[in-house]
Each structure stands twice: as C-alpha cells, then as structure tokens.
Amino acid sequence: MYIRLFKNDFARHKTIYLALCLFLTLSTMLLSSAIYLGITLKEGISDLTEHSQTPHYIQMHYGEIDEQSLIDFNESIPYIENFQVQEMISIDPNKIYISKNGLSEVDGVMDISFVKQNSNFDYLLNENNELATIEQGSIGVPIYYKTKYNLDLMDEIELKVGSKSFTYYISSFIRDSQMNSALISSKRFLLNDQDIETLKSMINEREFLIAYQFENESQIRDFRRAYRQTDLPDSGPSVDIRLFRLMNGLTEGIVIMMLAFMSLAITGIALLSLKFTLLSSIEEDIREIGVLKAIGLSDGQIKKLYVSKFLLLSIISAAVGFGCSFISNQFFINNITQYLGEVSLSFVESIYPFFGFMTIIFIVYIFTNKILKRLEDISVVDTFSLRNNHNSRFKKKKYKNLKSGKIPVPINMGVHKVKSEKKAYRLLYFIYFVATIMMVLPFSVAKTFESDDFIEYMGIENSDLRFDLRVNHQDFRVDELLFEIHEDDRIDDYNVYKTFLMKAYNLDDEIEDIFVEVSEKHDFKIKYIEGRSPENDDEIVLSTLAVQALDQTLGGTLEVKQNDQMRSFKVVGIYQDITNGGKTAKIIDQSFEGELLWYIISMNLEEPSRYQDVKTTYQTEYANIKVTSIDEYLSQTLGTTIHQLNRLSWFSIGIALMITVLVTTLLMNMMLQKEEGDIVLMQYLGFSWKNISVFYQTRIIYVLLKSILVGLIAHLLIGSEVVSVITRIFGAPQIVLKNHFEFNFVLVPFVLLSVVVISLYILLANYNNQRNNKKKEQKK
C-alpha cells in the first residue's frame, strides 16, 4: 500500500522528489567515499607499518657510535623487544643522477642515503609490500622518485664517487614506512650488501639510525625519558612511530576531511529540501489529513504514511549514492595505493562505508519525525480552517506599481516576486550558496598550498634562493662560502641561519628534541600568530607544535639543557611550521652551543631573473650545498599534496555545477507546471513569450546573484577559519587562504551564471514549443 501511495505522490511531485533524490544521493556518495578512503588510509598505514616492522622509536646520530654502550644500556630496559643500528651512507646530490633527463639531484631538496636491507626490523619493501631483495648492480628507488620522474624498472641510476662512476639498474621501487612522505626531507635507497661495502670504502660521510621496538607503544615515553638521562648518542633528532603515521597520512587526510565537509554541506541542502517537500505535502494534503483523523486514524498512523514515503525515498537515493561511491573512490584512491600499497579490507572494515548509507537514512528518519510532530497539534476543525486560509492568503497581497523606474516590467515583476515570497526561495538561495562555496573553497585551498606565500607556514622566510648546507659534509667550507656571498654584487641581501638540536624540558620535566635556528638578525622574516621576534639573547620564539609538545604559552619560561647546564628562555612569539615534524624554535643568541646540524642561507637577488646564473655558480664551486628557489622547494616538498588538492578542487567544481544545472532545471520545471494558469493570464494581458521568459529567468538569476555574493563574502570571512580546523593538526592553525580575484569574483560568477542562463533558455524554449504544439493539435 505504501509503495502505491508513494508512486502516486511521486507522479504528482516528480520534480521536487528528483531534486531531493539528487541531494541524498550526492551526500551519501561523498560520505561513503570519505569513510572508505579513511578506512583504507588507516589500514594502508597499518599494513605498511606491520610489513616493514616500523620501529617504535628512532634516535638519529651523526658521528661515531659505541654500539656496545647501547647494548649495555638496553639490558637495563626489560621491555625492549628489538634493537638495531642502521648505517646510512650520505650521498652528494650533485653526484647522483636519477631522472631520465641526465641531470643530477643538485636541485633536489631531499637528503639521499644509501643503505642495505635491515635484518631484524625496519624493512624496506617493494611494491607488493614484501621484503625488497636487491641483486648486485641493482638498486631500490623510493616511490617518491618514481612519481616525480615517472621512472620504470630497469632505468639507470648513476652515482659518481671521485673519479669513479657506478651505474645501477632499478630493480624495485621502495616503500619506506619512515620516509615515504614528500614532507620528510630524507630518502633511503636500497643497495645490495656487497655494493654497500664497496661504497663504504670510498665515502666517509655517515648517519646512523638507532632503532627500537618495544612490547607496546605506550612505553615510548618511558624509554625516551630513560635514554635522555644517559650520555648515549643523540646528536640528531629522535622521532617515534606516531610521527611516521601522521606524515604518511597527512596528504590523504586533508582530502578526506574536505570530502566530509562537502558531504556535510550537501546533507544540509538535502535536509532543507526534505523540510520544504514535507511541509508542501502537508499543506496540500491538509484536508485529507483532517478526514483521516475524523475516521479514527491516530497521529502515529498518519505520521507513518509520510515517514514511510520519505524513508523509502531515502533508501533508494542512499543506495544509488552508495553505489556511486565506488566510482568516486577511484578518483582519490590511486595516491594511497601508490605510497602505501593495495589494501585488503576485512569483512567488518569493508562494510564501514555502508554506515554512510545508514547515516543518511537515519538522519532522514529523525528529521522527518521531528517535522511531523506538528501534526499532533492540528485538530480536525483546524485542518479545514487551515485549508481555507491557504486558499485565501494570496488574495490579501498588495502589489506595487511595477511600471515605476527604468527597469523593464518583466524584470521588475521577477524581482518583486522573489521579494514577496522569500520563504519559497530559501532552498534555492541555500543551494546556490553551497554551490558557490564548493567551487571557491577547495580551489583556494589548492592554490594556497601552491603559492610561494605558503612558505610562511613552513617556518622560513620567502626569498629568491635558499642554500642548505650539512655540517657533516667532507667539503664543508661555510666561512669561504659566506665571504663569497658577501662580495657577490648579484646578491642584494642575505640571512644566515644555524640550526642546532636543542634539548628542551616540558612541564613534566621530560626532554623534547627541538630544532632551533640561530640568526644574527632580529627579524626572522616570518609571520607570528602571537607575539613578536626575539630581541634579546634570553628570548625565544616557538612553533605551534613545539608549544604543544612543551606545554608552553606566550610569556612562559622554557628550560633548556646546554652543555650539561640549565638555561632559561622567555617565550615571546609563536609561529606556524609544518617542517621537521613541526617542532622548531628561533633565537638570536650567537653564543648558543649545541649539536650544529646545518646552515640555511636565504638570499634575495638584485635581479631575481638571474637566479639560475647565481645558482649554477655556487653549485659548481661548492659540492656540499643544495641550492633551490622557493618554487622548487615547495614543489618538491608539497607536490603530492598539491596534486591531490587540485584533483579534489576540480571534482568539487564538477559536483557544484551539476547540482546547479539539475536544481535550476527541476525547480524551473516545477514553477512552470504550478503557474501554468498565471502564464495563460499573462499572455491574455498582452505579455509576449519573450517577456514571460524574462520574468521567469529574472527570478532564478536574482536568487543566484545574491547567493553568489553571500557565498563569496562568507568565503572571505570564514573560509580560512574552516580550513584552519584541518591544518592545525600538522602545525598550521591559522591558514590564510589565497583569494584569486579572477577566479573567485570573475570566473565563478560567470560560469554559474552561464550554466544557469543556458539551462533556463533551453528549458523555457522547450516548454514554449510543447505548448505551441499542443495548441496546434487542439486546432486540428
């Protein structure tokens, strides 16, 4: 019976039900996709961690290691399950040739190391997530470079060491649970044991990874405290498995949260559509409701008629949306499988996306019941009086003189119609508003990450060129380099930053590793979300993640261990930084002593267009420096993230335009059917079809233009705050979106207006042709 009633009602209100179905379908599709991608990402990271046996704790170290002292220390820690020290051979970027164009990695921002396969844990995996085995003369190359250079198996990698040259053939692409992400500036290449021994006899630069696995992750904190109380090797930073998981999931996590946001917005449209549809049905059926009450049907039975109708509609729509999610999943899944591998979900995990289907149905059920509560307050007598009021309300309207002013009458009529019936257009306002937001917000996010100004969220200044120098390099000639830079007429100004590893104490008296930059100049040329630059030697500025890790606040006192003595700094500023795990600091005290890791030299040129000339000069003369422009630095670090955000942006724009076209078509069709008598009356009064067409187009276009304006204003006012909710997770709590004037204020309004005008023109032309054909048939 319910299905028969639904069919009859659907035939009467086909247009509005189709619109509701569309929104429920899209919201289910996006929500199910977000859930599926989230589960796949989580399981992909888990599988990679499990297959590679990722260490729980890593201590990096530059210099010599007394492995026996580590073994002696380990015997005092009962919960250590595995321990190993991996030796990494540091490779000069200008001595290795990876890309097919024959150029070295001198322009690369990554620190490259050659290693052999570990024997206990922390394995490097192939593309099947199996233990990678490399034959002599072959090499395993990180996935990062496969994506960057479009490499294939059996491509050649050349390494020059002194007067010798080594050629390796790519036999495997490597997944590294520690260094997979482009946001991590170190990459491990895998060689055969014999090839490693050959290189060790020729290259003296070494780094060590001191790795531990415990009985469970909860013991990481206790171990860190115990390790810090010793004099064991710790010249580099320490990291743990939680950071590896975060970095491996960062890019896709942003995409997933943006998809969830889009689903939430479209669900809001669906609920407004549902409310509009339901109230319209009640208004039309008010007399029938009175009859049903009069013959003894309870409120619950009447509610059941409506609930069952909309529940059936939501089930059908959600089922279609759930099916469509399998298609939309493929749009974003490639990057996950590329970096994490194929993920096999368990039966329980595979049904999680089904919760998107169930969630939409549940929301519709709850929302419908809430609206239908008002039926309980309507008596049999009320139903007839309400019907009479409904029929008579249009007679009480007052119309102004539509001929006043220079505006053509059809346009004036259209605007007046919208203003006099504001409630009837609320849904359309909201739909166009959401469509505008869906077009501009993801696009602005992608372009913000792509912009040179994004460098301010990475804790470094925006400059023409950036020099990176590792102090453990055999050709470390920093004084000579600085003298040459100072004398170089092509360079306008430059800043020198020395980066140390600082041991800072949090409020629980535990040591945290913080990368601290020391500059001779007071101005670090970065933006502070709170406070100012340090002006005295006892002042420090911290990144947001460092503030969280150290339990600090602006104006607080930070205790630092320096040469076995305690020293205090006052926190005078807080800035944003997503590099090096996000835990960084800056001071101006030139007497600061600690483990010096690297130099960064930022410079601006007299003629920025000559940056390639300056770059070539210093790359040729100094083997130990990496020279990159800010564009290159951002591209190599955030390239994967930017690519995914651009895909999301165009996906969102496509959905927004589809919603706009379909809603415009459906609602205009509903208007024409509902107001057919008004159209006949207007023609009788002398209005041409062109005038009538302008009247209907004006109503839609007026709503569209106001919605676009409100949407753009909302994007300007709160868009950055919405995105910052997501980006605060990895150290950027105050993102300021880049607003591209041409796109936001020219292209988006133009495209939306164009698709709406074209849709209206086609629909109204078809409607007029159908009416004319009917008239011809009637004359026959």
- The domain locations on the chain are 1-56+235-396, 64-231, 410-455+641-780, 465-628
Q: Look at 196 and 20; give whichever has higher pLDDT.
A: 196
Q: Where would I find the H helices in 53-142? A: 67-74
- Out of 56-70, 376-390, 460-474, 694-708, pick the least confident: 376-390
Query: In the predicted model, is pLDDT for residue 383 greater than 80?
Result: no
Burial class of residue 686, CB neighbours in 10 A (0-12, 13-18, 19+): exposed
Q: What letters, b where the CB count within 10 A reaches 16 and e where it falls short, cover 564-599?
A: eeeeebebbbbbbbbbbbbbbbbbbbeebebbbbbb
The band of 570, judged by pLDDT with boundaries at 50, 70 and 90, is very high
Mean predicted confidence (pLDDT) in 26-30: 93
Is the torsion defined by CA of 763, 769, 774, 777 positive or negative?
negative
Q: What is the pLDDT of residue 421?
A: 86
Decide: 697 and 668 in contact? Cβ < 8 Å: no
Distance in angstroms (rounded) separating the CA atoms of residues 349 and 551: 37
Q: What is the pLDDT of residue 473?
A: 55
Q: What is the pLDDT of residue 731?
A: 78
Start-to-end CA distance of the chain, whole Å, equals 41
SS3 593: coil
HSE-CB at 128 with a 13 A cutoff on CA atoms is 5
Query: In the predicted model, is pLDDT for residue 477 greater than 80?
Result: no
Percent of the chain surpassing pLDDT 90: 45
Query: In the predicted model, is pLDDT for residue 395 greater than 50?
Result: no
**Closest residue by Cα to residue 434 from 271, 671, 279:** 271
Distance in angstroms (rounded) separating the CA atoms of residues 640 and 652: 18
Q: What is the pLDDT of residue 309?
A: 83
The band of 188, judged by pLDDT with boundaries at 50, 70 and 90, is very high
The band of 30, judged by pLDDT with boundaries at 50, 70 and 90, is very high
Q: Scanning the structure block, which residue is given the tokens 């698709």? A: 755
- Taking the mean position of all CA atoms in its chain, how far away is CA 453? 17
Query: In the predicted model, is pLDDT for residue 523 greater than 80?
Result: no
Distance in angstroms (rounded) separating the CA atoms of residues 667 and 135: 66
The band of 396, judged by pLDDT with boundaries at 50, 70 and 90, is very low
Query: In the predicted model, is pLDDT for residue 753 greater than 70?
Result: yes
Query: In the predicted model, is pLDDT for residue 394 greater than 50?
Result: no
| pLDDT tens column, 595-637 | 888 889 999 999 988 888 998 888 888 877 888 888 888 888 8
Query: In the predicted model, is pLDDT for residue 354 greater than 80?
Result: yes
Decide: 325 and 375 in contact? Cβ < 8 Å: no
Angle subtended at Cα 215 by Cα 209 and Cα 216, rounded to the nearest 5 degrees: 90
Single-letter amino acid code for the residue at 449:
F
Query: In the predicted model, is pLDDT for residue 378 greater than 90?
Result: no
Query: In the predicted model, is pLDDT for residue 253 greater than 60?
Result: yes
The band of 390, judged by pLDDT with boundaries at 50, 70 and 90, is very low
Decide: 543 and 582 in contact? Cβ < 8 Å: yes
Query: In the predicted model, is pLDDT for residue 387 greater than 60?
Result: no
How many other β-carbons are positioned within 10 Å of the β-carbon of residue 684? 8
DSSP assignment string, 178-220: TT-STTS-EEEEEE-HHHHHHHHTT---EEEEEEEEESSGGGH
Q: What is the mean pLDDT of the chain?
A: 86
Q: What is the pLDDT of residue 132?
A: 95
Q: Scanning the structure block, which residue is given the tokens 């204003």? A: 713
Q: Which positions ≥6 away from 88 have C-beta within 8 Å?
A: 113, 114, 115, 188, 206, 207, 208, 209
**Closest residue by Cα to residue 674 from 762, 760, 767, 779:** 767
Tokens matching residue 99 = 């890309």
Q: Scanning the structure block, which residue is given the tokens 């050959």? A: 198
Q: What is the pLDDT of residue 292?
A: 64
Q: Taking the C-alpha atoms of 246, 182, 581 and 115 in order, what is their torsion angle to the nearest 10 degrees?
A: 100
Single-letter amino acid code for the residue at 473:
H
Tokens matching residue 179 = 């260094």
Most confident of 319-328, 396-405, 500-509, 763-772: 319-328
Q: Scanning the structure block, which residue is given the tokens 């970065």? A: 526
Decide: 302 and 380 in contact? Cβ < 8 Å: no
| Distances in whole angstroms, Cα of residue 752 to Cα of each of 267, 282, 657, 704 | 21, 33, 7, 8
Report field, pTM of the whole predicted structure over 0.85: no
Mean predicted confidence (pLDDT) in 381-410: 55
- Out of 295-299, 580-584, 650-654, pick the least confident: 295-299
Q: What is the pLDDT of residue 422?
A: 84
Decide: 596 and 749 in contact? Cβ < 8 Å: no
